[in-house]
């Protein structure tokens, strides 16, 4: 902000300032402190290509970023405005808190305080309890699933904000928009969690860059910190997430993910050679709950432990076969045999998920329509019970058959997305980048 310089000549009566007996000393205007510039974070959605549900039980999964993303615009308010506001129009959430009224004493207590570099694997029940009075008036007019989604998003933000920030935090507005459908098994909540985590870590100045000469080790460390706090937000939303969604949304590309011990960080193997596969992604528009579907498999394992474990082991074997193929020295994504092998593995994976009871008639209908025109291999992705399917398209799929399939999907009110796998992870858009280059920095 430009300041006014009031020293110099006083034009009244043609005299210099200080020569008139009646003149009074002039007060110097204090130069205002400029607000921090607005910035934007973004993060992709994901699909689990192989291994959903098995990954919750300590098996491996392969997940890949998709080209659909969420975008969070952060605007810092003037020092006199002591509020933080969420503006998430895609889910109908609009809420404002008084910063000074929040439960800082509980979150900052020496026995509770966490640092930005800490690994948090469970939610602290005392901290969750302290937040409740500040969440009870979030979207009071909403009911059912709408209210649940809005309060979960508010809870995730508030837990991160109180854990990472302090009472001197500047007033801010967090406005989020997303191209990802909600509740479709595409990692929309993880995408939002990564956006929030990276934004707050940037605001407390614990992230540097990204910049062209940043050492890869530093970049990886910062992405891991973003990922850890995004997982905390995911716990607020889902209760017992595997961590795979936030991991691939943070780092991008594709990963082999395995978490055998939830008290420790997962084992994540980046798949830099993962092919940019042409995918047709179809949203059933059938709402479902990740927590409900995960609990369904847990209950099946409790009643039929040997059989359920055998199914989970088969899914794990499918994931391992795909991993060995993709990482082999002779891997060639343009080889028709490669696409066919990956497609057949997707079919086996889907069959095992059907056996676990997590499919849905709408999901099976999409598979039927794809099979009828013979353009690729289809499986559910994510928790199931609704949500979405992914179809690996055959290299020789005819345009006429694809057009026919699109028409049939549209006629039955399915939502289609053409996407590719293996894109960039979390990104940051600064005003200078927007002005000078018009491109987003980021990726893992």
Round to whole Å and give the CA distance between 62 and 322: 9
**Contact 388/281 with Cβ under 8 angstroms?**
yes
Q: Which residue has the tokens 């025109």?
A: 373
* Parallel, antiparallel or unpaired: strands 93-98 and 60-76: unpaired
Round to whole Å and give the CA distance between 122 and 239: 9
Round to whole Å and give the CA distance between 330 and 419: 26
Cis bond leading into 421, ω under 30°? no
User: Could you confirm whether 413 is annotated as catalytic?
Assistant: no
Closest CA to 382 of 248, 277, 251: 248
Round to whole Å and give the CA distance between 110 and 410: 56
**Contact 182/388 with Cβ under 8 angstroms?**
no
Round to whole Å and give the CA distance between 71 and 79: 25
- Residue 380 is given by DSSP the state E
Task: Taking each helix axis as running N to C, give the angle between helix 144-164 and helix 125-135, from 0 to 180 degrees, rounded to the nearest 10.
Answer: 120
Q: Which residue has the tokens 């920095």?
A: 441
Q: Which residue has the tokens 């939303």?
A: 237
For the chain, state the CA radius of gyration.
26
Round to whole Å and give the CA distance between 323 and 276: 15
Set 90, 245, 261, 424: catalytic member = 245
Q: Which residues are catalytic?
A: 245
């Amino acid at each position: 902000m430009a300041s006014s310089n009031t020293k110099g000549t006083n034009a009244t009566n043609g005299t210099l300032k200080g020569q008139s007996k009646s003149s009074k000393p002039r007060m110097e205007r204090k130069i205002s402190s400029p607000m921090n510039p607005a910035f934007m974070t973004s993060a992709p959605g994901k699909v689990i290509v192989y291994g959903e549900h098995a990954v919750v039980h300590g098996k491996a999964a392969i997940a890949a970023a998709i080209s659909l993303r969420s975008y969070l615009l952060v605007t810092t308010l003037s020092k006199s405005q002591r509020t933080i506001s969420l503006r998430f129009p895609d889910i109908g959430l609009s809420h404002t808190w008084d910063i000074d009224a929040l439960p800082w004493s509980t979150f900052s207590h020496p026995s509770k305080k966490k640092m930005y570099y800490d690994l948090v694997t469970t939610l602290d029940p005392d901290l969750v309890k302290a937040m409740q009075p500040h969440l009870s008036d979030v979207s009071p007019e909403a009911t059912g699933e709408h209210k649940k989604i809005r309060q979960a998003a508010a809870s995730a933000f508030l837990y991160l904000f109180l854990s990472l920030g302090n009472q001197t935090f500047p007033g801010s507005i967090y406005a989020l928009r997303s191209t990802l459908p909600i509740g479709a098994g595409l990692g929309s909540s993880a995408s939002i969690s990564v956006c929030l985590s990276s934004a707050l870590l940037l605001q407390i100045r614990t992230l540097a860059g990204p910049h062209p000469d940043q050492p890869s080790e530093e970049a990886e460390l910062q992405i891991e910190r973003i990922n850890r706090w995004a997982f905390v937000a995911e716990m607020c939303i889902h209760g017992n997430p595997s961590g795979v969604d936030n991991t691939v949304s943070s780092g991008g590309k594709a990963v082999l993910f395995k978490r055998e011990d939830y008290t420790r960080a997962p084992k994540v193997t980046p798949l830099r050679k993962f092919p940019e596969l042409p995918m047709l992604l179809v949203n059933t528009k059938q709402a479902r709950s990740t927590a409900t579907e995960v609990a369904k498999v847990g209950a099946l394992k409790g009643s039929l432990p040997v059989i359920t474990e055998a199914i989970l082991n088969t899914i794990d074997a499918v994931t391992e076969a795909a991993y060995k193929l993709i990482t082999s020295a002779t891997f060639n994504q343009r080889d028709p045999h490669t696409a066919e092998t990956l497609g057949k593995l997707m079919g086996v994976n889907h069959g095992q998920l059907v056996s676990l009871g997590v499919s849905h008639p709408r999901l099976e209908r999409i598979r039927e329509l794809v099979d009828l025109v013979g353009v690729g291999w289809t499986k559910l992705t994510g928790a199931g019970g609704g949500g979405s399917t992914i179809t690996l398209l055959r290299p020789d799929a005819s345009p006429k058959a694809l057009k026919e399939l699109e028409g049939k999907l549209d006629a039955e009110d399915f939502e289609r997305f053409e996407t590719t796998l293996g894109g960039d992870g979390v990104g940051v858009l600064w005003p200078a980048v927007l002005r000078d280059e018009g491109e987003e920095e980021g990726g893992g």
